[in-house]
């Protein structure tokens, strides 16, 4: 995305048939599916906030910042020039620019500071920034998600919530009392355990005379955002696995004994630092009761799972927009690429997938808003966010690959955003529970809290009568569930069926007729091939593409 005027008088050839840079457009207002979903699931204030954010994020300057933050990844500085151990991570200025922008617009705070539709607003903002750079969304997401878990320790919450929700980004590495804003990280997994957090070996010893205070000793294989001001972590206290709050500075103003071992060299998500860390007698405060660590930290995980679902939908949208833009401006065989019938099939298929993901993500966000006062909404959110996280993250990688192929060879070149999007695609599926973990979580939720399954089926039933193919698929699911929950080996299949029906219910009710018809014919009616671009004939593909076009 150059800031200069390209040369047009090359000695060997004229540069023609090349799309202009896709910059200086509003990421929100040009996304009709998102605008309608945010207005329907949220309110007009959410639309206004998202529109203001989308206008800034779509500028050439900010899109370039997202690219730069990934091209110049963070560096670990274990020592200063004098040989003193400092354990700091240095970031490119673009990372700080994006973090400041996100916090100023309330991406991490609006869910807790807005009287209504706070989670929908948060999800919309997350959806937009994730298109620019997913890396900065990690600390913003954890800062958003930690609030309900932190409230298990009212004293901690009273001190830290004002900093976490302040709207000010303050990267200074100083005690929180001296900062205008703060961010949170998380350190749960260990080498021997991974998703099996009960296999943790980190130990917590109570500090004599200091109620609720402990010293931690152990190693964490993955610590997200190690320059955060504090972390939630798990360790074994005398009465069992417990959740702890570990600040980077102790109450007496000393650097806490938390040491970064190295930064992870990840496939993607380059702007965000992820680290291995060790606790050598690190000072910590208990959050929740001893032995209830998973129950406490799962409240943070529940909210970050919403963001990993939104993130997948966001990446789909950015990839689709890039493909549509390229196909609009590229001519092949004397015709615009977007007007070639086989390409129209590909683009319409991608547009259907992206729209269904967007609608599902925003519907989940509304369930989070309603959970505070409606037990049924809480039950729906617990099951549906697992279902949504699983499915959208299974669909995002193949969608981005197909969008990359729309570009031809240039899509494989690092100067375009496509390789970065493709490397980013697997992350949200792995973070906060990979596919098997999420599918089994959904299965257990349906068994342990049958109300969640009842509410889910009620949600699906709202679309009954809108399309006969949807009705038939819903009947098949109902008949299957009437026989009892499947064995664990079939967990993925059940979650997939639930997810596609959830998307279908929203498409039937709220998508334009052409897109709803395409979704039901292919995803539910079985008239579909094994890859994108295999929609059946007879669909209004031009209308589907037009609705998705920025």
Instruction: Place 10 in a pLDDT band, splitting at 50, 70 and 90.
Output: confident
Are 389 and 437 contained in the same domain? yes
Write out pLDDT tens, residues 117-161: 999 999 999 999 999 999 999 999 999 999 999 999 999 999 999
- Give 377 or 196, the one with higher predicted confidence: 377
> Phi and psi of 43, rounded to 5°?
-160, 180
Residue 419: inside a domain, yes or no? yes
For residue 505, the domain's CATH number is 1.20.140.10
pLDDT, residue 252, reads 94
356: left (phi over 0), alpha (psi -120 to 50) or beta: alpha
* Residues 519-547 as b or e (16 or more Cβ within 10 Å = b): bbbbbbbebbeeebbebeeebebebbbbb
> Phi and psi of 77, rounded to 5°?
-115, 90
Q: What is the DSSP letter of 174?
A: S
Domain of residue 424: give its range.
295-548
pLDDT at 5 over 70: no
Are 408 and 289 contained in the same domain? no
Instruction: Place 1 in a pLDDT band, splitting at 50, 70 and 90.
Output: very low
pLDDT, residue 6, reads 63
Write out pLDDT tens, residues 261-272: 999 999 999 999
Angstrom distances, CA of residue 500 to CA of 107, 142, 300:
29, 28, 26
Residue 107: inside a domain, yes or no? no
pLDDT, residue 65, reads 98
Are 480 and 533 contained in the same domain? yes
- Give pTM, 2 decimals: 0.96
Q: Mean pLDDT in the chain? A: 96
pLDDT, residue 11, reads 84
CB 132 within 8 A of CB 56: no
Domain edge (last residue) among 247, 272, 293:
293
Write out pLDDT tens, residues 499-528: 999 999 999 999 999 999 999 999 999 999
Closest CA to 136 of 273, 306, 312: 273
Domain edge (last residue) among 293, 320, 340:
293
CB 157 within 8 A of CB 143: no
pLDDT at 531 over 90: yes
Are 396 and 255 contained in the same domain? no
Q: What is the mean pLDDT of residues 85-105?
A: 97
Are 312 and 406 contained in the same domain? yes
Q: What total of structural domains would you count in the chain?
A: 2
Write out pLDDT tens, residues 313-367: 999 999 999 999 999 999 999 999 999 999 999 999 999 999 999 999 999 999 9
**H or E stretch covering 441:** helix 435-448
Are 502 and 364 contained in the same domain? yes
Instruction: Place 215 in a pLDDT band, splitting at 50, 70 and 90.
Output: very high
Please report, rounded to a whole number, the percentage of residues in the chain having pLDDT higher than 70.
99
Tokens of 448: 């342990």
Instruction: Place 7 in a pLDDT band, splitting at 50, 70 and 90.
Output: low
pLDDT, residue 442, reads 96
Are 419 and 450 contained in the same domain? yes
**H or E stretch covering 262:** strand 258-263
Instruction: Place 8 in a pLDDT band, splitting at 50, 70 and 90.
Output: low
Are 308 and 242 contained in the same domain? no
pLDDT at 4 over 60: no
pLDDT at 2 over 60: no
Residue 453: inside a domain, yes or no? yes
Residue 35: inside a domain, yes or no? no
Please report, rounded to a whole number, the percentage of residues in the chain having pLDDT higher than 90.
95
Domain edge (last residue) among 258, 293, 328:
293
């Amino acid at each position: 995305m150059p800031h200069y005027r390209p040369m047009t008088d090359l000695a060997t050839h004229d540069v023609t048939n090349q799309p202009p840079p896709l910059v200086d457009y509003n990421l929100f207002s040009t996304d009709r599916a998102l605008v309608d979903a945010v207005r329907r699931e949220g309110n007009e204030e959410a639309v206004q906030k998202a529109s203001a954010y989308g206008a800034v994020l779509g500028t050439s300057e900010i899109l370039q910042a997202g690219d730069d933050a990934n091209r110049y990844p963070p560096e670990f500085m274990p020592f200063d020039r004098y040989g003193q151990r400092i354990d700091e991570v240095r970031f490119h200025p673009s990372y700080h620019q994006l973090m400041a922008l996100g916090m100023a617009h309330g991406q991490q705070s609006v869910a807790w500071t807005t009287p209504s539709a706070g989670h929908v607003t948060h999800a919309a903002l997350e959806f937009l920034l994730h298109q620019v750079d997913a890396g900065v969304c990690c600390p913003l997401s954890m800062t958003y998600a930690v609030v309900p878990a932190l409230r298990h320790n009212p004293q901690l919450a009273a001190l830290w919530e004002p900093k976490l929700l302040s709207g000010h980004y303050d990267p200074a590495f100083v005690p929180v009392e001296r900062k205008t804003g703060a961010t949170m990280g998380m350190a749960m997994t260990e080498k021997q355990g991974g998703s099996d957090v009960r296999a943790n070996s980190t130990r917590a010893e109570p500090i004599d005379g200091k109620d609720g205070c402990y010293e931690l000793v152990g190693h964490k294989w993955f610590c997200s955002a190690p320059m955060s001001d504090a972390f939630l972590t798990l360790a074994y206290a005398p009465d069992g696995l417990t959740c702890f709050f570990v600040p980077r500075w102790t109450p007496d103003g000393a650097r806490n004994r938390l040491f970064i071992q190295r930064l992870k060299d990840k496939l993607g998500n380059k702007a965000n630092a992820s680290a291995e860390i060790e606790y050598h007698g690190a000072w910590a405060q208990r959050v929740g009761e001893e032995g209830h660590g998973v129950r406490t930290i799962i409240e943070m995980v529940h909210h970050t799972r919403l963001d990993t679902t939104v993130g997948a939908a966001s990446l789909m949208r950015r990839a689709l927009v890039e493909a549509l833009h390229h196909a609009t401006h590229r001519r092949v065989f004397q015709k615009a690429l977007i007007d070639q019938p086989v390409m129209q099939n590909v683009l319409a298929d991608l547009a259907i997938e992206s729209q269904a993901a967007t609608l599902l993500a925003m519907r989940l966000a509304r369930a989070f808003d309603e959970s505070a006062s409606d037990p049924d909404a809480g039950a729906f959110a617990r099951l549906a966010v697992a279902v949504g996280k699983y499915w959208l993250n299974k669909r995002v990688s193949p969608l981005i690959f197909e969008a990359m192929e729309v570009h031809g060879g240039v899509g494989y070149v690092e100067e375009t955003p496509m390789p970065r999007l493709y490397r980013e695609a697997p992350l949200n599926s792995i973070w906060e529970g990979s596919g098997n973990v999420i599918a089994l979580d959904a299965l257990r939720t349906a068994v342990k809290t049958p109300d969640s399954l009842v509410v889910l089926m009620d949600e699906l039933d709202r679309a009954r009568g809108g399309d006969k193919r949807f009705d038939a698929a819903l009947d098949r699911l109902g008949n299957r569930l009437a026989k009892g929950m499947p064995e664990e080996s079939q967990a993925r299949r059940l979650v997939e069926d639930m997810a596609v029906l959830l998307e279908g219910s929203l498409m039937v009710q709220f998508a334009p007729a052409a897109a709803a018809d395409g979704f039901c014919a292919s995803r539910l009616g079985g008239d579909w091939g094994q890859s994108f671009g295999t929609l059946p004939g007879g669909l209004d593909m031009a209308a589907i593409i037009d609705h998705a076009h920025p």
